[in-house]
Structure 1
Amino acid sequence: MRRRTLPALLLPLALLLTACGGVSSASTADRTDGKGDVTLDVGDQKGGYEAILRASGELDDLGYRITWSTFTSGPPLLEAVNAGAVDIGGVGNTPPVFAAGSDSKIVVVGAGHGSSAGEAIVVPKDSPLKTPSQLKGRSIAVAQGSSAHFQLVASLKAAGLTVSDVRLKYLQPADALAAFSRGKVDAWSIWDPYTSQVLRGGNARVLTTGEGLVNGLSFQVASPAALKDAGKSKAIGDLLDRLRRAQDWVFKHPEAWAKVWAKETGLPYDVALDAVKRSYGTRVPVAVDAAAIASEQQIADTFADLKLIPRRFVFKDYVDTRFNRDLPASTAAPRSYRKASS
């Protein structure tokens, strides 16, 4: 039964927002919105900025043009930012660390803070493992350099373990799903919507999550050249405002957004809605402040210690705070649907 259902699971997984995966990617740039003399080249991921802005009506009345380029994940998107092919794009908390660690030309200009409940270590439903400390000596699938990788390191540390105490299997999500489903690994460290999908499958349960261990941040990252251009800089500020309003719309209309997201990504609607309520719909636009910078510095230092980035660096050197405005602190509590409905 697992063997027959596996291909159906793998196809949509390949299309999802892979916030931190290191897979290769081609991009397309053939869709344009708005009008005006300024054109902003925006890097997107499937079911990402373009979809949320369009669904919320925030692409109406643009006084500048947006040309969309679509990437499969954060790392190649930031490669395009570094090359000047993209002016701005959105990624998770780890791709900026790897890009800056390679001395890429990137600048973090915006942030969001959401729940880390979707960043989880899952085990088979009938697994004897009950606590993270029992992972010692076990095999764990994880995407190298991903937010899930850092969550795994943090979870092991909290349990009194290190990565040398476990057997890491560096696998991208589609391959990790296959290994997990066939019992080739004891656990899988993942992020939403993979978490929601594997839990909806009924053959997995959560061993632990990133809540209280990881920062739950996501970022908008721009090119230095775009920020130096007065017209593009103004457009970037407007785009960030629109993204903030669109995120508010998602929180108020989770079912409507889940329908759009499911159509864009190929996810089943119930999986999309789970991921929205557990992770993506909980995000609050926040300032790129001292706390966010310090938290990212910790991630950078961790991966430098693991020798997964080529050098140590100061994360603050890759941040521009001009768009913080009156946003809440980066430690602002994520939105809660339970509280909203009570």
Structure 2
Amino acid sequence: MTVLLIPKASKVSRRSWLKQGAALSLTAAGALRAWAQPQTTLVLGDQAGGLRALFEASKALEGVPFAYRWANFQGAAPLFEAQRSAAVDTAVAGDLPVLAAAVGRTPLKIVATRVGKADALGLVVQPDSPLQKVADLRGKTVIVSSARGSISQYQLYGALEEAGVRRDEVTVKFVLPTDAAAAFASKQIDAWAVFDPYYTIALQQGGRILRDGRGINTALGFITASEPSLADPARRAAIVQFLDRLARAGEWALANPEAYAQAYSQLTRLPIESARIITARASVTGRPVSEADIVALQVVADRSARDGILPVRVDVRAITDAQVWKRPA
């Protein structure tokens, strides 16, 4: 409540004081309306708790001027289903899943790039499997996680081409990673194309690498934002702030690898030995999308259309907005 004290000896007219009082009342009311306005909230889509672990370990989201909550998914396919239905504002995924989501008419834009290591995924077989090389997959069934258009499918097809094996000589089935992990552990699966953290877990349980992603996969990951979120000025501003904090979190993780691994282990409940391996090759740093990133992703898009992984060719530049986030130098 604002109280106006009017001196008796004042020569200022009553009308003047009332005008000033009205102005002060309007100012106070405006401040109250601003205070009462709900805070912008972002729903941050994640896969297997990886991004959340990074932020919780680094504390990079502390003090952000927006509210947020995490939405965790076991793979890119269900994550992009959520983005398609406007259940999440941002998503994190590898190169091919982003392209597959675009083909599926998910209203998204690529707004940031993350760089990991290509040995964070691969083809894994049972420890006593007679399969010794990729060429031995002829006539066999390979389980791919998590769905058509995954980075593991791209890695499998690249490995088959490298080994001179036609794709029609191998039976490919798509299974979500948690279901496939249980089947692999019980030896119901002979060959499994999968990514971290499930890849490392399979190897820790005795699985053997037939071929990893080095020389096939780009190791690029991306942050996408939904177009409706970007069209809203408040949420767009919050997304930019989130990306700024992502870069800060990545720098922290590179400087504090053990602390990051410990936090990842606690959040995911994975053994610390597995967590150290996973976090050491994870894509943690974030940076604005570069021209080189667009070109590299276009190569993946073209090859995926050629190989029938994607039904149509995706124009990467059309699904990228490099203007959203330009990190200060």
Which stretch has the larger CA shift, 139-148 or 240-249?
Answer: 139-148
Amino acid of the residue matched to residue 320 of structure 1?
D
User: Where do residues 176-195 of structure 1 align in structure 2 (5 Å cutoff)?
Assistant: 176-195=180-199
Candidates 69, 88, 95, aligned match of 2:97: 95
Q: 1:186 to 1:54 in 2, by over 3 A?
A: closer
The answer to whether the 8 A contact 1:287-1:327 is kept is: no
Rounded Cα–Cα distance in structure 2 between residues aligned with 1:222 and 1:58: 19
Other structure's SS at 1:94 match? helix
Rounded Cα–Cα distance in structure 1 between residues aligned with 2:98 and 2:117: 19
Equivalence for 2:7 = none
Amino acid of the residue matched to residue 222 of structure 2?
F
User: Where do residues 79-118 of structure 1 align in structure 2 (5 Å cutoff)?
Assistant: 79-118=81-120
State yes or no: 1:157 paired with 2:157.
no
Rounded Cα–Cα distance in structure 2 between residues aligned with 1:67 and 1:197: 27
Equivalence for 1:313 = 314
CA offset at residue 216 of structure 1? Answer: 0.6
TM-score under structure 2 normalisation? 0.79
The answer to whether the 8 A contact 2:47-2:73 is kept is: yes
Q: 1:161 to 1:327 in 2, by over 3 A?
A: farther
State yes or no: 1:137 paired with 2:154.
no
The answer to whether the 8 A contact 1:115-1:283 is kept is: no
Tell me the alpha carbon deviations over residues 273-313 of structure 1, each in whole angstroms, 9 at most, x when there is no partner. Answer: 12112x21x54434423332233334334444455545433
State yes or no: 1:48 paired with 2:84.
no
Rounded Cα–Cα distance in structure 2 between residues aligned with 1:72 and 1:141: 16
Equivalence for 1:70 = 72
Equivalence for 1:289 = 290
Q: 1:89 to 1:168 in 2, by over 3 A?
A: closer
Equivalence for 1:227 = 230
* Percent of aligned pairs with the same amino acid: 32
Q: 1:178 to 1:45 in 2, by over 3 A?
A: closer
Give structure 1 stretches of 5+ with no counterpart. 1-34, 329-342
Other structure's SS at 1:117 match? helix
User: Where do residues 239-278 of structure 1 align in structure 2 (5 Å cutoff)?
Assistant: 239-277=242-280
The answer to whether the 8 A contact 2:243-2:286 is kept is: no
Give structure 2 stretches of 5+ with no counterpart. 1-36
Q: 1:103 to 1:273 in 2, by over 3 A?
A: same
Q: State how many pairs are aligned.
A: 291
Tell me the alpha carbon deviations over residues 305-340 of structure 1, each in whole angstroms, 9 at most, x when there is no partner. Answer: 455545433122111001453699xxxxxxxxxxxx
CA offset at residue 46 of structure 1? Answer: 4.5
Equivalence for 1:15 = none
Rounded Cα–Cα distance in structure 1 between residues aligned with 2:62 and 2:179: 40
The answer to whether the 8 A contact 1:110-1:288 is kept is: yes
Rounded Cα–Cα distance in structure 2 between residues aligned with 1:85 and 1:171: 23
Other structure's SS at 1:109 match? strand
The answer to whether the 8 A contact 1:113-1:218 is kept is: yes
Rounded Cα–Cα distance in structure 1 between residues aligned with 2:129 and 2:74: 32
User: Where do residues 313-332 of structure 1 align in structure 2 (5 Å cutoff)?
Assistant: 313-323=314-324, 325=326
Equivalence for 2:212 = 209
TM-score under structure 1 normalisation? 0.76
